[in-house]
Amino acid sequence: MQGIEKDEFGPEYVVEVYNAKLGMEGFLVIDNTALGLGKGGIRMTPDVTAQEVFRLARAMTWKNAIAGIPFGGAKAGIVWKGGTTAQKKKIVQAFARAISYVIPHKYIAGPDVNSGEQEMQWIAEAVGSWQASTGKPSSYCYHEGDVAICGLPHELGSTGYGVAMAAKVALPFRNITMEGATVAIDGFGNVGSFAFSYLKDMGARIVAVSDKEGAMYMQEGLDGDILAKLKKKNQSVALYPGGKKISHDQLFHLPVDVLIPASVTDVIHEKNEKGVKAKVIIQGANIPMREHIEQKLLDRGILVVPDIIANAGGVISSYAEYKGYLADRMRTLVKQKIEKSVSLVLEESKKKNKSPRVVALELAQEKVRSAMRKK
């Protein structure tokens, strides 16, 4: 397919499916399975493309390798322009059945933009396998003897928790203490809302958040309880009382200690990167900027912790669910693996005077190459 580059690592499978009756169009890219089954979430947006899915699948290859998770890299996308819950279920299950010949022995689904625990249950039900997906509801279980093995939904906040742990490790590299550190978060969904909560518990001051409808700024810090109430009512963070409504670009240009892009792909780009003033960027979203933009920010002295290590909490949680772990054991695993990988990458980056992404990629590629040779 156009825009998908083939190299020594993959991709192994590129699948495009279409259901004319439902108008369902979707993509699956299984990039590399040297380390294990292809693992990656399903993105549901109006303009998702095979090229975007490939970029995300390749990121998953590196993310799983660095985290030390025995999964390969994969990703899926479904063109979703909105509709009722019933319509969404039909689309998701049609996609699952269309790729059922690779689930779960080559690919395991997971949540991503506009797909969560309910969609993951629909997939498992559609293909008749509890292990077809991870991130399923905690009430969706099967039994091994007297033991209930249940889903670990991403709504437990594993990715946001990992992002907060990444920030905790990264801030000392710029001589910033967490207590009182100012933070701006683009995206107040599953990742951003939990990153907000965990960072605030650590003493940070979150001064700005955004969602697709707008952004809100308050220098003295935003109240997570008020934001949670707005979210529960399906209302925008831009309705936060007493704050200053700002644009998305204004959020990216705030002079904060930490900026967390936690929404969608390529939100920091050629038109807004020059105004970025944060000292540290923790990439909560997958591919929130292209690599040349990331390098420009690094050249200006901004520490950028790349997505392939910063937001690996979700796939670590997926592995925990796949293994049948409980939630507490999952959080411990996320903390241990994120702290280890971020510390390793940033120490090596400092020692070798290379960007964190280059160091992370070198580590990941060596792991994958080694596994490919053995395989």
Could you list the mean pLDDT of each consecutive 10-residue stretch along the chain, which spans 375 residues? 86 97 97 97 96 94 95 98 97 98 96 93 97 95 86 88 98 98 95 96 98 95 95 93 94 98 93 96 94 96 96 93 92 96 97 96 97 92
- What is the pLDDT at residue 228? 92
Q: How far apart are CA 73 and CA 106, in angstroms?
A: 10
For CA atoms 135, 137, 141, 146, the dihedral sign is: positive
Q: Which residues contact 184 (CB under 8 A, 6 or more apart)?
A: 206, 207, 208, 209, 251, 252, 254, 256, 258, 259, 260, 278
CB 120 within 8 A of CB 151: yes
E strands present in the chain: 13-19, 24-32, 38-39, 42-45, 72-79, 107-108, 141-144, 147-150, 182-186, 205-211, 214-217, 244-246, 258-261, 280-282, 303-305
E strands present in 92-235: 107-108, 141-144, 147-150, 182-186, 205-211, 214-217
Residue type, 147: V
Q: How far apart are CA 74 and CA 56, in angstroms?
A: 8
**Taking the model in full, what pTM does it have?**
0.88
- What is the pLDDT at residue 192? 96
Q: Do domains 13-154 and 158-312+343-360 have the same CATH topology?
A: yes
Query: What are the extents of the domains in the chain?
Result: 13-154, 158-312+343-360
Of the CATH numbers 3.90.320.10, 3.40.50.720, 3.90.105.10, 3.90.420.10, which one belongs to the domain with range 158-312+343-360?
3.40.50.720
261: Cα within 13 Å, side-chain hemisphere = 27
Assigned CATH for 13-154: 3.40.50.10860
Residues acting as catalytic residues: 75
Question: Across-strand partners of 255?
Answer: none
